[in-house]
Structure 1
């Protein structure tokens, strides 16, 4: 079958939607920026910067949102939600948030920990038998493994120190491909329970606890949530997190009536973007040498609503809105509580958002990692408002940062596969704090 690929330069058709009390009433209250010590001019640069990315053809459109002291001071949409269909971006557009699913899964695990239903030092094999007797990869040529000295524990999964990889992880990428292990950003007819069992056929890339590597640890945690709670991951999220936080537009499977609000997915093609059409399966080459990538990422655009997709990936499967995810972030910033609903104790949130990997490094950076979040050190050579903040992003170009020091949150949402997290938004938000 010949695949017809449509290439086109992004046409700049921008629309700006300012935050209004009517919309924000579904979530946090609103405030004028200066009323909570934020510069109106500076915070406006968040959407102006995103508009510049639209103008340069790097994204089709997006949404930026900022809150301080529990009040929304900025919410704007720019560009197009669907460039080809000429659908303007809206502030309530729904985005594939990919790895921004991971912090939600991590919160679910810690809720079960608080309830005494699991322990951080429990071996994963206590919940998934196939994780017994793991092997560690010693060399590729010749292929050589040896039994791991320790089993993977829950805390190793939470911190990405398990030794599990992804389909783009050097040395084990080919095995991921051979076993057809998908990562949550592609339609899959296989339940995560089966995928996770097959994942154990791949040796670990290091001894658990000895290094940091981004991989499928949180997908495994999602399965553990199901085993412990005796609920599907989606049902647990809905009952224990989404409903209490009024996250009304966050789903593994988007209801039919909401599908028109889902933003079109794009992939970068040299100097322009190409839409990932529904049903189309792509294998994007991951070759960022500085990050150690050496494989591919399989993706489709229709997994949020396809009847064929049954995988509820705790590592990447959710779709959401900026407003919904702000609710989740504000709960964390509040120390585990929002709108009289307490999900976690303050001490638990503090533990999750502090360094849990000792002197290990997050990739090639000096960042640290907690239980689900990358953390900037208190002595990091960055704007003071960014120190001790925590953040994460998603493969489809979404991100958030939470600053306990300055009591603010910034969220950005776009839909371009593989576009790295843009730290410019974080800097702009930090610079907007006046007092």
Structure 2
């Protein structure tokens, strides 16, 4: 009897352990983008189209390196009834920036520079910078000396001090006169014009979005000795198979190019004239900016994003080392940088190398949803991507809508992916 009881007890323990293991494995295999999330995503995106606030929209999500969601709603070209699709080409604007940062960091891996090196060591155009200090009684600008040189880290995290607003008395007018980012300027001319324009604030003292990533492209060109467009194609785009990520869009592919729309009121969209919206991409200009200008498809851009999620490698091709990706996705803003413009609107974030980096979870349902450790960026036409290392999730959202996300599109898309924020109940 004792032997029999012992046998049954052992079997019971084994069964319980097996059940626990199965439950643990099942929990580990649970996906963020499950059936409920897919339903939320579909209804959220379709509602924006049905309400008339978006002409066309698409999204692509990978989780555990497997595609878990794709859908597209509405029209890439509403007037010609061309549906938004997987191969629709859009202007990604500032989602160009992480690609530029990746190109720059290939040179960092080769030991060509250190992040805290003065920029002027490689680009004398930025030596002996002056800093704006306001206007005197006669309305003339007052300048002081920069307290330290601009570092390369400054241009990767937007703390260089470059002016980028039209409301700085005197300095904004000078910036417009210089017109450093004219499409007619090659990067060397752009750098000369920027270097001869005083900084708005002391390097490293505040976060102000601007022309820093265009300077990164110039730096790549200067250090590598190759035109930036060639270098980024050779080191990043071609190895990843991103043939449809380009500055210049050839005639043969323009039928897939999404129109741009301006939202003028609830349910009201005006098409931006193609002659205005497409002037950069339908012509081959001397300027190859690092901060904007590329066009792409969802699959192309998500290949890039998945490379980041896979720590620098995809499909047997390594672009950067894992340690470099980790460095790029680390917050580089010290607590002393308290003036951060509109960056806090993106959630509780810092900034790494051309990405916002989420440092804390949301504390209210109104804050932008996201997971600590996530890194991301977006574009002027309301496009968005992020990499969530914790959940091994990569998401991309394509749309061509101005002004930038005035309809909580990014928040609602994030809420559809993760579920709406639920506050943690306080214990007594």
The TM-score normalised by the length of structure 1 is 0.81
C-alpha deviations, 1:220-245, integer Å up to 9, x for none?
Answer: 00011111112222211211111221
Hey, what does 2:411 align to over in structure 1? Answer: 423
What is the CA distance between 1:167 and its match in structure 2? 4.3
The one of 161, 164, 173 aligned to 2:162:
164
Query: What SS does the corresponding residue of 1:158 show, helix, strand or coil?
Result: helix
Hey, what does 1:175 align to over in structure 2? Answer: 174
The one of 378, 393, 414 aligned to 2:378:
393
RMSD: 2.3
How many angstroms apart in 1 are the aligned matches of 2:160 and 2:243?
33
Structure 2: segments with no counterpart, 5+ residues: 1-28, 421-428
What is the CA distance between 1:35 and its match in structure 2? 7.7
8 Å contact 1:127–1:224 — kept in the other structure? yes
Structure 1: segments with no counterpart, 5+ residues: 1-33, 281-299
Q: Which structure's CA Rg is the greater one?
A: 2
Query: What SS does the corresponding residue of 2:274 show, helix, strand or coil?
Result: coil
How many angstroms apart in 2 are the aligned matches of 1:403 and 1:92?
24
Query: What SS does the corresponding residue of 1:348 show, helix, strand or coil?
Result: helix
C-alpha deviations, 1:194-225, integer Å up to 9, x for none?
Answer: 12321223221211111111110000000111
Tell me whether 1:254 sits opposite 2:249 in the alignment.
yes
8 Å contact 1:105–1:315 — kept in the other structure? yes
How many angstroms apart in 1 are the aligned matches of 2:358 and 2:135?
35
C-alpha deviations, 1:8-40, integer Å up to 9, x for none?
Answer: xxxxxxxxxxxxxxxxxxxxxxxxxx8856312
Tell me whether 1:275 sits opposite 2:290 in the alignment.
no
- Larger relative helix fraction: 2
8 Å contact 1:410–1:426 — kept in the other structure? no
1:103-182 map, 5 Å: 103-140=98-135, 142=139, 143-168=141-166, 170-171=168-169, 172-182=171-181
Hey, what does 1:363 align to over in structure 2? Answer: 341
What is the CA distance between 1:417 and its match in structure 2? 3.0
What is the CA distance between 1:385 and its match in structure 2? 5.8
Hey, what does 1:373 align to over in structure 2? Answer: 355
- Runs of 4+ in structure 1 deviating by more than 6 angstroms, as ranges, are none
Query: What SS does the corresponding residue of 2:114 show, helix, strand or coil?
Result: coil
How many angstroms apart in 1 are the aligned matches of 2:39 and 2:217?
37
The TM-score normalised by the length of structure 2 is 0.82
- Number of aligned positions between the proteins: 376
How many angstroms apart in 1 are the aligned matches of 2:274 and 2:33?
41
How many angstroms apart in 2 are the aligned matches of 1:371 and 1:194?
25
How many angstroms apart in 2 are the aligned matches of 1:314 and 1:385?
27
Shift of the 67–371 alpha-carbon distance from structure 1 to 2, 3 Å rule, reads same
C-alpha deviations, 1:294-327, integer Å up to 9, x for none?
Answer: xxxxxx43311224x3321100111111111111
